[in-house]
Amino acid sequence: MVHETYRKLLEVMAEVVDLNRAAAVLHWDRLTYMPAAGAMARGEQTATLARIAHLRSTSPEVGAWLEALRPYEESLGADSDEASMIRVAHRLYEKATRIPTELIVEQALVAAAAHEAWLKAREENRFEVFRPALEQVVDVSGRVASALGYVNSPMDAFIDVAEPGITAAFCEGLFAELRAELVPLARAIAESGRQLPDSVLRNHFPAEQQLACGTAAVRAIGFDLDGRGRVDTTVHPFAIGCSLDDVRITTRIRPDDFGNCFFSLLHEAGHGMYEQGLPRRLDRTVLGEGASGGLHESQSRLWENLVGRSQEFWQYFLPRAREFFPQQFAGATPDAVYRAVNRVTPSLIRTEADEVTYNLHVMFRFELEKAVLEGRLAVADLRDAWQDKLRQYLGLTAPDDLRGVLQDIHWSGHFGGAFQSYTLGNVIAGQLYAAALADHPEIPEDIARGQFGKLFDWMRTRIHECGAKFAPGEMVQRATGKPLQARPYLDYLGRKFRSLYGLS
Ligand code: ZN
């Protein structure tokens, strides 16, 4: 018999999830079709929903139920849905009750205004236009970190929300391990004197066909577009789950560049497939979502890079891409496209970075966030600090703010703990893919034939269907039998790029 108090807890969870999903639809609309003048009212609507959701989920009644459910939780197996539900709800309740509702509302309003300021600053290509709003974002974020509490760094407060159980120190250790191999690899590639030609991707690719071609690809890998998903265009690509059966992805299109739209779509479809694969029995509960930002990113990076930038994928997909672009791809070979989409070159934009240099972008953003939150760097100096780090890590200088400090949307809503999940995602993707290959060595041959089912099912069973029952470290341990580690990912990168660039 279902515990009466447990049933009441589930009812409140369902309401809170509904409120959050309503906010998600408003968010999607704001970033796609909303007229610009709607921004302030939309900010108020979002803040109202956030306030009601926060009040509901932090009511003393919920706290009392969670206390009363302790014996019930202890009587169940720790892996059971019910025990996991109570455990995770308790954790979220404790975190949420530390933040006053007024601060949640203030954060939502500041974020709405900052997003508009960020858009305006991008239009004018001037960081100064964004700076005052960003100072407010940093101020509110700092107060949220204090409210959440931390021992070593404000970053820990946010990382523990995004990646339960993971600390800034753990991330720094991981970054050091990656840096030790990726910096020499990038240098060896630069010094090899070889470069992979990518002219096959630099042609005129009309926007409409790009969208159709990318949509065909995401459908092929398994994103369900038959009444359960949609694809739109926006400034900054994203994926959002408005419900289990309403998952939306977006992309941006550059008519002179095939890769931008195509790989954004594979990436967001990876997120979307995770959202569509969450367990129905856990829907409208705290467990009915992705396990963490890093786990989510592992799914997007898997399909974007380990699959989408593989030799086998282009053996399959080039003939299909040619249906949309008969002239542009007329003389192309799968191998030529494979090489073109894996060209390594230090670049200014994180989302367009190759696999070898991508994590360097993440590392320096992480360092900047940490320095600002710890009061070692002023927002007014962020632009110059960005240039210093860019030089230090990638040997580049941003010619303007648009291609520098204004490029990411993240700081227009919240400051701190947003970027480490990208690198965790890359690392986890490498580890999951290696484990899936050990179980099914024929996966690459399948991909060459356009069959993605085995890999998809492996992810669905081991990752998607667990929802948020376990913390990311435990998810990886359960899925692969090993603790979260960088080795498989580094081996994958080393093997692939040493071969592509003819390095020993
Ligand atoms: Zn992503």
Residues β-bridged to residue 232: 250
Which pLDDT does position 320 carry in this prediction?
Answer: 98
Tell me, in angstroms, the distance from the centre of ligand 1 to residue 300's CA: 6
d(CA 8, CA 504): 62
Tell me, in angstroms, the distance from the centre of ligand 1 to residue 319's CA: 27
Cα 403 from chain centre: 20
The residue among 277, 252, 261, 266 whose CA lies nearest residue 218 is 266
d(CA 247, CA 68): 36
d(CA 74, CA 456): 35
User: Residue 444 is encoded by which pair of tokens?
Assistant: 């690459």
d(CA 255, CA 274): 29
Tell me, in angstroms, the distance from the centre of ligand 1 to residue 488's CA: 20
* Catalytic choice (73, 163, 268, 289): 268
Cβ atoms of 359 and 426 within 8 Å: the answer is yes
Q: Give, as one character, the DSSP assignment of residue 305.
A: I
Tell me, in angstroms, the distance from the centre of ligand 1 to residue 503's CA: 30
Cα 448 from chain centre: 27
Which pLDDT does position 10 carry in this prediction?
Answer: 97
d(CA 299, CA 94): 29
Tell me, in angstroms, the distance from the centre of ligand 1 to residue 402's CA: 20
Q: What phi, psi does 490 have (nearest 5°)?
A: -65, -40
SS3 assignment, position 76: coil
Strands 239-243 and 229-233, bridge-based pairing:
unpaired
Tell me, in angstroms, the distance from the centre of ligand 1 to residue 84's CA: 26
d(CA 236, CA 257): 16
Cβ atoms of 115 and 39 within 8 Å: the answer is yes
Tell me, in angstroms, the distance from the centre of ligand 1 to residue 445's CA: 26
pLDDT in tens, the chain (504 residues): 568 999 999 999 999 999 999 999 999 999 999 999 998 899 899 989 999 999 999 999 999 999 999 999 999 998 999 999 999 999 999 999 999 989 988 998 899 899 999 999 999 999 999 999 999 999 999 999 999 999 999 999 999 999 999 999 999 999 999 999 999 999 999 999 999 999 999 999 999 999 999 999 999 999 999 999 999 999 889 999 999 999 999 999 999 999 999 999 999 999 999 999 999 999 999 999 999 999 999 999 999 999 999 999 999 999 999 999 999 999 999 999 999 999 999 999 998 899 999 999 999 999 999 999 999 999 999 999 999 999 999 999 999 999 999 999 999 989 999 899 999 999 999 999 999 999 999 999 999 999 999 999 999 999 999 999 999 999 999 999 999 999 999 999 999 999 999 998
Task: Give the number of C-alpha atoms closer than 13 A to the C-alpha of residue 44, restricted to the C-beta side.
Answer: 3
Tell me, in angstroms, the distance from the centre of ligand 1 to residue 297's CA: 5
Tell me, in angstroms, the distance from the centre of ligand 1 to residue 100's CA: 30
Cα 436 from chain centre: 21
d(CA 271, CA 251): 13
The residue among 430, 455, 178 whose CA lies nearest residue 297 is 430
E strands within 160-319? 229-233, 239-243, 246-251
Tell me, in angstroms, the distance from the centre of ligand 1 to residue 267's CA: 6
Cβ atoms of 265 and 248 within 8 Å: the answer is no
pTM over 0.85: yes
Which pLDDT does position 2 carry in this prediction?
Answer: 65
> Which value, in Å, is the radius of gyration of the alpha carbons in the chain?
23
End-to-end CA distance of the chain: 64
Cβ atoms of 276 and 224 within 8 Å: the answer is yes
Which pLDDT does position 1 carry in this prediction?
Answer: 52
Tell me, in angstroms, the distance from the centre of ligand 1 to residue 295's CA: 10
Strands 246-251 and 239-243, bridge-based pairing:
antiparallel
SS3 assignment, position 250: strand
Tell me, in angstroms, the distance from the centre of ligand 1 to residue 423's CA: 11
Cα separations in angstroms, 270 against 87, 128, 429, 431: 28, 35, 11, 16
User: Residue 325 is encoded by which pair of tokens?
Assistant: 């672009």
Which pLDDT does position 352 carry in this prediction?
Answer: 86
Tell me, in angstroms, the distance from the centre of ligand 1 to residue 237's CA: 9
- For the chain, list the domains and their CATH numbers: 4-149 (no CATH), 168-500 (1.10.1370.30)
Which pLDDT does position 504 carry in this prediction?
Answer: 81
Contacts of 4 (CB under 8 A, 6+ apart): none
Catalytic residue flag (residue 268): yes
Tell me, in angstroms, the distance from the centre of ligand 1 to residue 269's CA: 9
User: Residue 364 is encoded by which pair of tokens?
Assistant: 């320096």
Tell me, in angstroms, the distance from the centre of ligand 1 to residue 312's CA: 23
Element (H, E) at 36: none
Q: What phi, psi does 198 have (nearest 5°)?
A: -125, 25
Contacts of 125 (CB under 8 A, 6+ apart): 400, 401, 402, 406
The residue among 80, 466, 412, 473 whose CA lies nearest residue 277 is 466
Tell me, in angstroms, the distance from the centre of ligand 1 to residue 430's CA: 15
